[in-house]
């Protein structure tokens, strides 16, 4: 793995989607060492004339991101809108151990009382526990982790650069000591791989024990360069499921039927475990003045 230091013109990107509960996205790294084979963001390295494997091996570090962020936050036009940290690549991936950009970013969020949402697969976030705790005392904070299975052996095949699901769940439980909302994102649900009823039951039981505020499921989307990369990975690692997955993702009607049946089963399981599917309620409770700007995903 190699790190390439770059500069950015703006730290945050304005989002115009009405389907997201946040208005701004902040990514401090381009590329990701987690090596999640299903990652939708693989396409982002195409603009740099890199291939899919380079997305995991060549990490671009925005070394001026802290100064750039403060320029945006101190502007008179800033309205303390919700920022999503790491919507494209994980803010606490391996590069963060070296560059340690997140502590100063959180300090800026505290200084400007700016609400934040972050999803990370890394327990490295616990290094900054005190800062996240402080931020959660002054504004709304949502800390989530994507955990697609509680089977550590399975995850080592699919996302070999990530901590165990047990470590991620323990991290979320630790953040219950703060005022931050916590959640588990079961994304993506991969047909035939992690969608078994017993598999999801094991994961939901762990989420219940970790006392998370919500569980948010999402299906696998294969677009752009992610699709050939992922299907090649399936052919090499799970050859018994390759043909079925190819057929499913080449047939929209069949895929919609699978999605409908899968959600019907999984959402009932979530309800049976008395886990919330309401992503925004904990955040709204901390920021009533901005409630009209936020929308529910589920």
**Predicted confidence pLDDT, tens digits, the chain (298 residues):** 899 999 999 999 998 766 677 889 999 999 999 999 999 888 764 544 555 568 888 999 999 999 999 999 999 999 889 999 988 899 999 999 999 999 999 999 999 999 999 999 999 999 999 999 999 999 999 999 999 999 999 999 999 999 999 999 999 999 999 999 999 999 999 999 999 999 999 999 999 999 999 999 999 989 888 999 999 999 999 999 999 999 999 999 999 999 999 999 999 999 999 999 988 777 777 664 444 444 433 3
Nearest-angstrom CA–CA distance, 106 and 268: 37
Nearest-angstrom CA–CA distance, 3 and 102: 17
Does an H or E element contain 264, and which?
helix 252-272
Query: What is each CA distance from 268 to 196, 198, 201, 228, 275, in whole angstroms?
Result: 14, 13, 11, 33, 10
Mean pLDDT value across the chain: 90
Nearest of 30, 24, 37 to residue 4 by alpha carbon? 30
| Residue 286: per-residue pLDDT | 61
| Residue 280: per-residue pLDDT | 79
CB count, 10 Å around CB of 140? 26
Would you give the end-to-end CA distance of the chain in angstroms? 38
| Residue 16: per-residue pLDDT | 78
| Residue 39: per-residue pLDDT | 92
pLDDT digits (tens, 9 = 90+) for 214-223: 999 999 989 8
Q: What pTM, to 2 d.p., does this model score?
A: 0.90
Nearest-angstrom CA–CA distance, 285 and 42: 35
Query: What is each CA distance from 180 to 174, 209, 284, in whole angstroms?
Result: 11, 17, 12
Nearest-angstrom CA–CA distance, 247 and 257: 13
| Residue 55: per-residue pLDDT | 84
pLDDT digits (tens, 9 = 90+) for 167-220: 999 999 999 999 999 999 999 999 999 999 999 999 999 999 999 999 999 999
Contact 9, 134 (CB under 8 A): no
Please give the angle made by the CA atoms of 203, 208 and 212, to the nearest 5 degrees. 105
Q: What is the CA radius of gyration of the chain?
A: 19
Give the burial class of 291: count Cβ atoms within 10 A of its Cβ; 0-12 exposed, 13-18 middle, 19 or more buried: exposed
Find residue 104's DSSP bridge partners.
none
| Residue 291: per-residue pLDDT | 40
Please give the share of the chain, as a percent, with pLDDT higher than 70.
Answer: 91
Contact 6, 60 (CB under 8 A): yes
Quote the DSSP letter at residue 251.
-
| Residue 290: per-residue pLDDT | 45
Number of residues assigned to the chain: 298
Architecture of domain 2-290: Alpha-Beta Horseshoe (3.80)
| Residue 295: per-residue pLDDT | 40
């Amino acid at each position: 793995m190699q790190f390439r230091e770059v500069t950015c013109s703006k730290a945050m990107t304005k989002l115009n989607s009405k389907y997201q509960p946040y208005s701004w996205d902040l990514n401090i790294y381009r590329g990701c060492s987690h090596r999640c084979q299903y990652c939708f963001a693989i396409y982002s390295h195409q603009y740099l004339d890199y291939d899919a494997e380079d997305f995991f091996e060549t990490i671009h570090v925005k070394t001026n991101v802290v100064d750039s962020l403060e320029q945006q936050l101190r502007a008179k036009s800033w309205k303390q809108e919700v920022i999503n940290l790491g919507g494209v690549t994980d803010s606490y991936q391996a590069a963060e151990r070296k560059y340690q950009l997140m502590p100063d970013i959180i300090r800026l969020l505290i200084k400007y009382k700016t609400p934040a949402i972050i999803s990370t697969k890394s327990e490295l976030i616990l290094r900054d526990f005190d800062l996240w705790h402080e931020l959660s005392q002054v504004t709304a904070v949502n800390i989530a982790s994507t955990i697609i299975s509680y089977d550590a052996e399975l995850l080592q095949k699919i996302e070999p650069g990530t901590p165990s699901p047990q470590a991620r769940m323990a991290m979320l439980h630790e953040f219950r000591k703060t005022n931050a909302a916590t959640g588990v994102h079961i994304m993506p649900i991969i047909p035939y791989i992690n969608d078994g009823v017993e598999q999801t039951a094991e994961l939901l039981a762990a989420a219940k024990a970790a006392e998370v505020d919500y569980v948010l499921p999402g299906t696998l989307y294969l677009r752009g360069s992610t699709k050939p990369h992922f299907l090649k990975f399936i052919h090499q690692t799970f050859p018994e499921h390759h043909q079925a997955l190819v057929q499913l993702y080449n047939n929209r009607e069949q895929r919609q039927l699978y999605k409908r049946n899968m959600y019907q089963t999984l959402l009932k399981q979530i309800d049976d475990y008395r886990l919330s599917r309401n992503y925004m309620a904990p955040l709204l409770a901390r920021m009533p003045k901005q409630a009209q700007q936020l929308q529910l995903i589920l």
